[in-house]
Amino acid sequence: MKAIATCLALAALAAVTAAAPLDHLHSARQLVLVVTPGWDDVRGELRRFERRGTGGVWRAVGAPTSIVVGKNGSAWDPLVDPVVPGPMKSEGDGRSPAGIFTLGTAFGFAPAAEASWLKLPYLHVTEGIECVDDVASSSYNQIVNRRSIAAPDWKSSEKMREVGEAYRWGVVINYNASPAVAKRGSCIFLHIGGENGKGTAGCTATSPAELRAVMEWLDPKANPAFVQLPRAAYEKLKESWKLP
């Protein structure tokens, strides 16, 4: 229980930097960049980059990876200035958020001892671990252990262990956090999926092998950033955001 509380606290701490996303991007030394053809497209590409210091040249790491986003495509984080017209993210819209985000804790079904290859903080997903998507709950958009809460106030949540293979491994994308705003969207992860091009409920997903490579590479000391955009927005923002 103590380990779970520690992991969740670390994830919340990482989310604080999301208040100034562009500042975070400029200070990052690792970058996960996801680009899709358009707002309504499900399939896209994930590329990894790293640099030695702030302001340095981004250098590609590994090969591009195929991914899927939400089953209805993507939509702007409402806190981002929509420099390119597009839909706005909301709870239950089946779209993945577009913008700049920090990455929180990793999670998985394996005990912590079997996740020692990770540099990220880690949450062992056991029975009772849920991500709350009830917009009326005080725990909205939080990963909690139902068994440690005396009176759960939510009627809807993702029981993460029951989701199955998709959540065997994953990383929290710090969207709508610190504090969460009702109806803005919840439970956004990078996780396993994308078979046959099938989209998600709003997360970003890739194959188990590709996800493992990303997770093993991510290092909180490098202040990693996650940027997700449709192609038109990427081309428009590439120079001002100093994207590779």
Inside any domain, residue 244 = no
The model's pTM is 0.91
Cβ contact 122:151 at 8 Å = no
Q: What is the pLDDT of residue 211?
A: 98
Inside any domain, residue 153 = yes
pLDDT digits (tens, 9 = 90+) for 216-225: 999 999 999 9
Give the N- to C-terminal CA distance of the chain in Å, as an integer. 41
Inside any domain, residue 243 = no
Share of the chain above pLDDT 90, in %: 85
Q: What is the pLDDT of residue 95?
A: 98
Inside any domain, residue 240 = no
DSSP class per residue in the chain: -HHHHHHHHHHHHHHGGGGSHHHHHHH-SEEEEEEESSTT--EEEEEEEE-SSTT---EEEEEEEEEE-BTTBEEE-TTS--SS---B--TTS--EEEEEEEEEEEEESS-GGGGTT--S-EEE--TTEEEE--TTSTTTT-EEEGGG-SS---S-EEEHHHH-GGGSEEEEEE-S-SS--TTS----EEEE--GGG--BSS-EEE-HHHHHHHHHH--GGG--EEEEEEHHHHHHHTTTTT--
Number of structural domains found in the chain: 1
Residue 175: give the domain boundaries: 2-235
Inside any domain, residue 241 = no
pLDDT digits (tens, 9 = 90+) for 229-239: 999 999 999 99
pLDDT of 1 > 60? The answer is no
